[in-house]
Chain A
Amino acid sequence: AQSVTQPDIHITVSEGASLELRCNYSYGATPYLFWYVQSPGQGLQLLLKYFSGDTLVQGIKGFEAEFKRSQSSFNLRKPSVHWSDAAEYFCAVGAGTGGFKTIFGAGTRLFVKA
Chain B
Amino acid sequence: NAGVMQNPRHLVRRRGQEARLRCSPMKGHSHVYWYRQLPEEGLKFMVYLQKENIIDESGMPKERFSAEFPKEGPSILRIQQVVRGDSAAYFCASSQERDRAYNEQFFGPGTRLTVL
Task: Chain A residues near B112: list those with CB within 8 A.
Answer: 41
Task: Chain B residues near A83: list those with CB within 8 A.
Answer: none
Contacting pair B42 A101 (CB below 8 A): no
Contact of A104 with B102 at beta-carbon distance under 8 Å, contacts A43-B91, A44-B91 already known: no
B3: min CB distance to chain A, Å: 9
Could you give, for residues 25-54 of chain A, a 1 whenever the CB lies within 8 Å of some chain B CB and a 0 otherwise? 000000010001000011111100101000
Contacting pair B102 A98 (CB below 8 A): yes
Task: Chain A residues near B110: list those with CB within 8 A.
Answer: 42-43
Contacting pair A44 B107 (CB below 8 A): yes
Could you give, for residues 59-80 of chain A, a 1 whenever the CB lies within 8 Å of some chain B CB and a 0 otherwise? 0000000000000000000000
Known: A49-B104, A90-B43, A107-B42. 7 other contacts (CB 8 A): A4-B42, A43-B108, A46-B104, A94-B102, A98-B98, A100-B95, A102-B45
Contact surface of B with A, Cβ cutoff 8 Å: 4, 31, 33, 35, 40-45, 48, 55-56, 58-59, 91, 93, 95, 98, 101-110, 112
A-B contact pairs, 9 of them (CB 8 A): A43-B91, A51-B101, A90-B42, A98-B102, A100-B55, A101-B45, A102-B33, A102-B35, A107-B41
